[in-house]
Structure 1
Amino acid sequence: MQSENAEMYLVNLALIEESGTQTPIPIPRLAEVLDVQTVSANQMIRKLEEEGLVTYQPYKGVSFTEAGSQVARAIIRNRRLWEVFFVEKLNFTPSQADALACRMEHITETEVAVRLSDYLSHPTTSPTGKYIPHSDDLASPPVGQPLTRLHAGSRAEIVEVNVDPATSAYLHSENLAPGKMVTMLAVSSGGAVLLEIESRKISLSPEIAARITIANPEGPKQYAA
């Protein structure tokens, strides 16, 4: 589970996208919306990238992974369901409802959101006309860990690769793709990794390795701390 601060980054990134801004979203733009320093936003984005929720492209900005998008949609669904509840059932104004819903969105469990939606007869828009994501849009995110956490000497299955098209083409040329098994040969002090895939060795920067999700690890020491 992410901290409330981390969730606010995900939600605001989603809201910026919803406004029509093309991705990747520049970090200074995200920092402006959150009213934080750009350096603080950079630090949080790096953390979210390590968790497999976003990807960052230097000099361009940040984009969601599918897992991160699902987390953000779930929180936005919570917020807008509560907005409907506060306006329709408690007669708050939309602006008052928004402030209250912003507090509730982070502590609302899935079962509570399901029951709230049932109680409200499954609304599709908020009091201000914003789309409420449907529960069917909130499939469980891919189970796994960033490749950067795989311990040297262990192997695992690649389940997701979130990189730009040029990098994706290169990785596919090296047989690094979802469904392939990869062995971690070494990790440098700077975070770069040396891998083996089908008897071929490949080196990856820490930035690219962090955008690759793995699962089903094998080995005596599977994930590094």
Structure 2
Amino acid sequence: MITMSESTEMYLLRTALLQRESQPVPLSLLAQELDVSTVSANEMCRKLMHDGLLIYEPYKGVRLTEHGSAIALRVLRRRRLWEVFLVTHLHLPADEAERIACRFEHVTPDHVADRLGTMLGEPRYTTRSEPIPQAAATEIELPALAATELGVGGEGEVVAITASPTVGGFLCSQGLRPGARIRVLAASGRGQIIVRVGGQELVLEQALAEHIRVVVDHHHLISEEV
């Protein structure tokens, strides 16, 4: 496997995290996220386009090729596995673990990441409910709906909680955590919804329910061998 520079990996990873439904990521946004000038981002993206890792659309932005996406997800897998290890085994705060993992992700070979994943029991989520790409993943199917968008009778699997740690902790205490099944039983004109989760019924305000991300089937992480 060809070794990628840290800069290349960061551009691909940040593009993957910003990209939605194959829509181009504006260069200005990418530059802001990477803390570089738009000119520098433009030059780097053109290089990555020539390397077959990005599709560059002038005046629109960039999106990943299949090859670029596979590399980005391998880097993301390393980062999030290290986050889990540092939090659960070394008991570091999540923010500190993320900073360290961001350095480890660039120097960890894939076979070491795979062994780390095996040791950790192949976790599907970080301690902050972020999905972890599985080995050789080529795509993460991100949560498509908020709980408020399911509609009455709609059912899905909770895959992420996007709220603050305080609100997220409250939702988790009510059983609304990644992996839980949720069904919308009723909705009121005031924006409240009644849901069933874990054998109990809960009334949720719209502002809370919008932080619960769900998919309508169990397989929200799609992977294949490369």
Q: Tell me the TM-score range normalised by the shorter chain.
A: 0.5 to 0.7
Q: Are residues 1:48 and 2:44 paired? A: no
Deviation >3 Å, runs of 4+: none
Q: 1:21 to 1:34 in 2, by over 3 A?
A: farther
For residue 138 of structure 1, report the CA deviation from its aligned partner.
4.6
Alignment of 1:1-225 (within 5 A): 1-17=3-19, 20=20, 23-138=23-138
Q: Which amino acid is the alignment partner of residue 78 of structure 2?
A: N
Partner Cα separation in structure 2 for residue 138 and residue 62 of structure 1? 18
Q: For residue 137 of structure 1, give the secondary structure of its aligned residue in structure 2.
A: coil
Partner Cα separation in structure 2 for residue 31 and residue 134 of structure 1? 28
Query: What runs of 5+ residues in structure 2 fail to find an aligned partner?
Result: 140-226
Q: Which amino acid is the alignment partner of residue 128 of structure 2?
A: T
For residue 45 of structure 1, report the CA deviation from its aligned partner.
0.2
Partner Cα separation in structure 2 for residue 118 and residue 22 of structure 1? 31
Partner Cα separation in structure 1 for residue 126 and residue 51 of structure 2? 30
Partner Cα separation in structure 2 for residue 136 and residue 43 of structure 1? 29
Length, aligned pairs only: 137
Partner Cα separation in structure 2 for residue 111 and residue 56 of structure 1? 31
- Root-mean-square deviation (CA), in Å? 1.5
Q: TM-score, normalised by structure 2?
A: 0.58
Query: What runs of 5+ residues in structure 1 fail to find an aligned partner?
Result: 140-225
Contact 2:55–2:62, Cα closer than 8 Å, also in 1: yes
Partner Cα separation in structure 2 for residue 107 and residue 81 of structure 1? 13
Contact 2:22–2:63, Cα closer than 8 Å, also in 1: no
Q: 1:21 to 1:33 in 2, by over 3 A?
A: farther
Deviations 1:26-48 (A, max 9, x none): 11110010111000000100111
Contact 2:66–2:138, Cα closer than 8 Å, also in 1: no
Equivalent residue for 1:188? none
Deviations 1:165-203 (A, max 9, x none): xxxxxxxxxxxxxxxxxxxxxxxxxxxxxxxxxxxxxxx
Greater Cα radius of gyration, structure 1 or 2: 1
Partner Cα separation in structure 1 for residue 60 and residue 66 of structure 2? 19
Q: For residue 96 of structure 2, give the secondary structure of its aligned residue in structure 1.
A: helix
Partner Cα separation in structure 2 for residue 57 and residue 67 of structure 1? 17
Query: Percent identity between the aligned chains?
Result: 45
